Amino acid sequence: MVSEKDRGLKPYSKTDYPMLTEPKFIRFKFRKVGDLQFISHRDLLSVMTKIFVRAKAPLWYSKGFNPHAKLIFALPLSVGVQSECEYLDVRVERAIPPSELMEHINAEVTEELRFIDAYYPETALEDIYWAEYDFEIGTEGADENMASEIEGLLTAEQVIILKKAKDKHEKIYFKEVDIAPYVRDVSVKFDGGLIKINAKLSASINQTHPHINPENIVTMLKDKLGILSGDVMREQYDIIRTKIYFEDGKTDFR
What integer pLDDT is reported at residue 205 of this predicted model?
Answer: 72
- CATH T-level topology, domain 14-126: Alpha-Beta Plaits (3.30.70)
* CA triple 73-76-79, angle to 5 deg: 145
Choice among 6-20, 75-89, 101-115, 144-158 with the minimum mean pLDDT:
6-20
What integer pLDDT is reported at residue 8 of this predicted model?
Answer: 55
pTM score of the predicted model:
0.90
pLDDT above 80: residue 6: no
Q: How does residue 17 score in pLDDT terms, banded at 50, 70 and 90?
A: confident
Note whether 14-126 and 129-245 share their fold.
yes
Q: What is the DSSP letter of 76?
A: P
What integer pLDDT is reported at residue 14 of this predicted model?
Answer: 66
Cβ–Cβ under 8 Å, residues 106 and 1:
no
Beta bridge partners of 243: 132
For 140-156, what is each residue's pLDDT tens digit?
Answer: 999 999 999 999 999 99
Q: For residue 71, report the phi and psi dihedrals to the nearest 5 degrees.
A: -120, 120
Stretch (H or E) spanning 42: helix 41-54
What integer pLDDT is reported at residue 223 of this predicted model?
Answer: 92
Stretch (H or E) spanning 19: strand 19-32
Q: For residue 249, report the phi and psi dihedrals to the nearest 5 degrees.
A: 75, 10
Q: What is the mean pLDDT of residues 237-254?
A: 96
DSSP output for 117-160: EEE--SS-GGG--EEEEEEEEE-TT-SHHHHHHHHHHHTSS--E
Cβ–Cβ under 8 Å, residues 243 and 251:
no
Long-range CB pairs of 13-17, under 8 A, 24+ apart, other chains included: 13/56, 14/56, 14/57, 14/58, 14/94, 16/96, 17/58, 17/94, 17/95, 17/96
pLDDT above 60: residue 4: no
Q: Is 132 left (phi over 0), alpha (psi -120 to 50) or beta?
A: beta
Q: How does residue 38 score in pLDDT terms, banded at 50, 70 and 90?
A: very high
Compare 9 and 149 and report the one with higher pLDDT: 149
CA dist 151 and 145 (Å) reads: 10
What integer pLDDT is reported at residue 72 of this predicted model?
Answer: 94
What integer pLDDT is reported at residue 80 of this predicted model?
Answer: 94
pLDDT above 70: residue 1: no
- Could you give the C-alpha distances from 243 to 36, 55, 151, in angstroms and in order? 18, 27, 20
pLDDT above 80: residue 164: no
Closest listed residue to residue 113, CA positions, set 160, 68, 52, 168: 52
Burial class (CB in 10 A: 0-12, 13-18, 19+), 242: middle
Q: What is the DSSP letter of 18?
A: P
What integer pLDDT is reported at residue 144 of this predicted model?
Answer: 97
Cβ–Cβ under 8 Å, residues 215 and 252:
no
Cβ–Cβ under 8 Å, residues 159 and 220:
yes
So where are the chain's domains?
Answer: 14-126, 129-245
Compare 217 and 13 and report the one with higher pLDDT: 217
- CATH T-level topology, domain 129-245: Alpha-Beta Plaits (3.30.70)
What integer pLDDT is reported at residue 96 of this predicted model?
Answer: 93
What integer pLDDT is reported at residue 16 of this predicted model?
Answer: 80
Q: What is the mean pLDDT of residues 52-62?
A: 91
Average pLDDT, the chain: 90
Choice among 112-116, 182-186, 231-235 with the minimum mean pLDDT:
231-235
- For a pLDDT cut of 90, what percent of the chain falls above it? 75
Q: How does residue 5 score in pLDDT terms, banded at 50, 70 and 90?
A: low
